[in-house]
Structure 1
Amino acid sequence: MSETAPHYLVMTVGTTGDIHPFMRIASALQMLGRKVTFVTHSYYEKVVRDAGLPFVGIGTDEEFLHVLRNPDIWDPKKGFSALLANYSDGLKQVLETIESISAQAPHVVIAHPFAVPGAIIARERGLVKAVVAAYLAPSNLRSCHDPLTIGDTSVPRWVPMSWRRALWRFVEKGWIDPVAVTQLNAVRTPLGLPEVGSFLTHIMEAPDLSVTLFPSWFAPVVPDWPRPLIEGDFQLFEAAAQDGFTEALSAFLAAGEKPLVFTPGTGNFHAADFFACALSAINRLGRRAIFLTRERAQIPANLPESVLWQAYVPLSALLPHAAVLVHHGGIGTTAEALRAGIPQLVVPFAWDQFDNGARIASLGVGMVIPAKRLRPRKLARSLHTLYRSETVRAQCSLLASRFTPPHDPIALCREVERLV
């Protein structure tokens, strides 16, 4: 590697679905012989180091879990304020981390959107050469074009563009900027940097390059996304065929028909109603099921033999053995079900989950029931429709074929290098 080759700082925040795609990019950069440092929550240190990536942690496990234990983060309207309650502290930690890393080579930061403002400050202070914003899901990019889903609100196609722009201004001024801009400027102003007026505009316009970590067939580029922009693909975690399988899981899978799999996501500690409803629906259908969550307290105390609880199993290993996946609509989980070629029933709670669910429905591979409207009878009816539909199964198989051969992250990294 040349002495002038950049040192890549790959920075992300969030839960497992936010970590794995960035790990795949970091590993690809290492395969190209580049120097890489992975920066994320200290909570994920073992996962990252086990993948052979140099790691720098941010925050403590207690701070990370404190955020996840706040039920407001899964509320469509309260979630943003709850997640960014201490955003200024997080930005300061990002800056301190960048400052602590050796400056012997120019730094290029590849960042999750929430980490972009900290990386931009570092660039303005001469600590970073370039900032690349990597977007995991389509709704991470503000757009006025169809399909337009803002939180749990879907905007009809007939709504004029002027009304769409006005709606975004209303959302930004009412929910996003009072929290994010205030805390961002609280870090920028003491450093003598100009104030930011719009959080989403700053995230989209300030980076040197933007990359989508989803394919165009899932969400084609629209005119108001930032430029320059690289159209990427899903960056999925690769697990061995039975990686993470317990003896109980292997025995359960071998004992009968393919089960339904239920998960509210690795970061959801407030899904007791989700699992209670799932158990009631399963009993109505007479089907087998697997419940996935690290929080056993969310699971009904007494499970029948037809239901197995597991703390965690890589979806890439489990879903080929499943009939249907019922999940929250996180982008990583959504992509894994697409790759496995199985129907999905999306139960969105907040964030990008509503938009991801709407896209799954429009692709003909699943259905959507918002978490607040989930009821046992409705869930059972929808599941019955999904696993019996030959049309849905055919469409699932068609989209699964798009994952063969697997997407090459090295080609994406080379394109990033070329443009940066």
Structure 2
Amino acid sequence: MSTPSKTFLFTTWEGGGNIPPVITLARRLRERGHRVRLMSDEASREDAEAAGIAFHPWRNAPNRPDKTPESCPLRDWESASPQEGIGRVLSKIMFGPALEYAQDLAAALDEEPADLVLTSDMLPGPLAACESRGQRVAILSANLCLYPLPGMPAFGPGLPPPRTAEEAALHEQIRAGTLQMLDAHVDGLNRARVALGLKPVASVLDQLAAASRYLLASSRCFDFPIELVPEPIRYIGPLLDEPAWAQPWRSPWPADDARPLIAVGFSTTYQAHEGVLQKVIDAAAELPVRVLVTLGRIDPASLRPAANTAMVPSAPHNAVMEHARLVVTHGGHGTVLRALRHHRPLLVIPHGRDQDENAARVVEHGVGLRLTAACSTVEIREALNRLLNVACFAENARRLGTAISQESQNMDPVAEVEALACAAGVH
């Protein structure tokens, strides 16, 4: 290893799809000979230890003990509106417990210093703790940038880029509303800052200045285009290692079964997907296809599989997508980017979080279709038929997937964070 051995401390929370990219980067750093630790919820311990990463659970901050629906602190599937679901994330994870996250990180650094802290874009508390100590820190996002960017549609509702003056005005209104919603929680952040000996900030966005880099584990080819990516943001490419919990999979169908395979996979964390999954199963039941459903946290007894459907708790997506004709998903960033890496078109049925944003980009690139969670079985069947029979979707998926792969070949996320750890002084 040409780079001297460094110590890295990752901090994140158990939110499902945000964990595998962190584990991927941490594992690659460990394999380069660096000392790597991860602070997260107890629910993330198995993933970390399977990758050989030293694990430390949160002590004072929210600490989800496992991945069952009962332990989820958000329960956003019970929200009456998307805004309420976002509000739960802001109050229960991002800003409400900012001080507790900051205190836990400070204690971990007291026990063992780090050359670089890499913290989740959804945890401003650790950023404040690093700022108060002069600790070198970078933000690591497992997907797209959730904060407003110049020229980029505001994150959340899943809007395409504006094409008219009226649409541009609407985007500005949404952007202002997003900032207002974020800054409604600035008191929680400032509680942490004052306790750490820092001055209060006027906006939660001001806290981002503590980071020397804002790393997006996504693809610029996949994201909406903007003229200039502002500093300190860097796209480092999707980090798509298979998670430790993915079970081996063997096709239950004969090798000579020529029916197209549809891979159906919704969130690995519970979001009450049973109803939509059943509609997908029913929609595909009348088509000459095979359907593989990965259940995640869904109880198989809650679903009625059709004759052409196989259901498994989990499966390695790379192996499945290699044989699939198309992918049906909630729109999690990892699933979408993995499908595109395999040149597979998508049907995306979002259920909140970042999923509408990923779905909007799928539609904008012409690599798939998007339906709402309230869609009917007939609508799903029509969408599946289009994706199976209209060639442009597969062609566009092949084109975009190739571009993403080529882009990733020119990126080295390990070298990026090594350089940050080796940089002289604090950013």
Give, in whole Å, the separation in 2 of the partners of 1:223 and 1:405.
20
- Spell out, residue by residue over 1:252-305, the C-alpha distance to the aligned partner (whole angstroms, 9 max, x if none): 374733421222211133112211211221123243212222334376443233
Q: 1:234 aligns with which of 238, 246, 253?
A: 238
1:385 is aligned to 386
Comparing both structures, which one devotes a greater share of its residues to helix?
1
SS at match of 1:84: helix
Q: 1:307 aligns with which of 309, 312, 321?
A: 309
- Spell out, residue by residue over 1:383-417, the C-alpha distance to the aligned partner (whole angstroms, 9 max, x if none): 10001122222222233334657946983222333
2:220 is aligned to 216
1:111 is aligned to 119
Q: Which moved more, 1:15-24 or 1:324-333?
A: 15-24
Give, in whole Å, the separation in 2 of the partners of 1:171 and 1:396.
31
1:60 Cα offset (Å): 3.5
* Residue 120, structure 1, aligned to residue 123, structure 2: no
Give, in whole Å, the separation in 2 of the partners of 1:68 and 1:279.
28
Count of residues in Structure 1 that have an aligned counterpart in Structure 2:
410
- Spell out, residue by residue over 1:54-99, the C-alpha distance to the aligned partner (whole angstroms, 9 max, x if none): 1112314169823254424695221111223333336514531441
> Structure 2 counterpart of 1:391, which letter?
C
Fraction of identical pairs, as percent: 21
- Spell out, residue by residue over 1:12-66, the C-alpha distance to the aligned partner (whole angstroms, 9 max, x if none): 2243421111112112222332221112221021111011111112314169823
Q: 1:245 aligns with which of 236, 244, 248?
A: 248
1:144 Cα offset (Å): 4.4
Alignment of 1:11-410 (within 5 A): 11-58=11-58, 59-61=63-65, 65-67=71-73, 69-72=75-78, 75-87=81-93, 88-89=96-97, 91-101=99-109, 105-115=113-123, 117-126=124-133, 129-148=135-154, 150-154=156-160, 156-159=162-165, 164-173=171-180, 175-178=181-184, 180-199=185-204, 201-202=205-206, 204-219=208-223, 222=226, 226-238=230-242, 244-246=247-249, 249-252=250-253, 254=255, 256=257, 257-297=259-299, 300-372=302-374, 374-402=375-403, 407=408
Give, in whole Å, the separation in 2 of the partners of 1:203 and 1:409.
30
- Decide whether the 8 Å contact of 2:67 with 2:269 is kept in 1: no
SS at match of 1:125: helix
TM-score (norm 1): 0.86
- Structure 2 vs 1, CA of residues 211 and 253 (structure 1 numbering), >3 Å: closer, same or farther? farther
Give, in whole Å, the separation in 2 of the partners of 1:324 and 1:239.
21
> Structure 2 counterpart of 1:100, which letter?
A
SS at match of 1:85: helix
Q: CA RMSD in A?
A: 3.2
- Decide whether the 8 Å contact of 2:42 with 2:64 is kept in 1: yes
- Structure 2 vs 1, CA of residues 124 and 274 (structure 1 numbering), >3 Å: closer, same or farther? same
SS at match of 2:116: strand
SS at match of 2:264: strand
SS at match of 1:251: coil
- Decide whether the 8 Å contact of 1:213 with 1:235 is kept in 2: yes
- Structure 2 vs 1, CA of residues 208 and 290 (structure 1 numbering), >3 Å: closer, same or farther? same
- Structure 2 vs 1, CA of residues 82 and 300 (structure 1 numbering), >3 Å: closer, same or farther? same
- Structure 2 vs 1, CA of residues 146 and 351 (structure 1 numbering), >3 Å: closer, same or farther? same
2:414 is aligned to 413
- Structure 2 vs 1, CA of residues 3 and 362 (structure 1 numbering), >3 Å: closer, same or farther? closer
Give, in whole Å, the separation in 1 of the partners of 2:159 and 2:264.
25
TM-score (norm 2): 0.84
- Decide whether the 8 Å contact of 2:224 with 2:361 is kept in 1: no
Q: Which moved more, 1:352-361 or 1:300-309?
A: 300-309
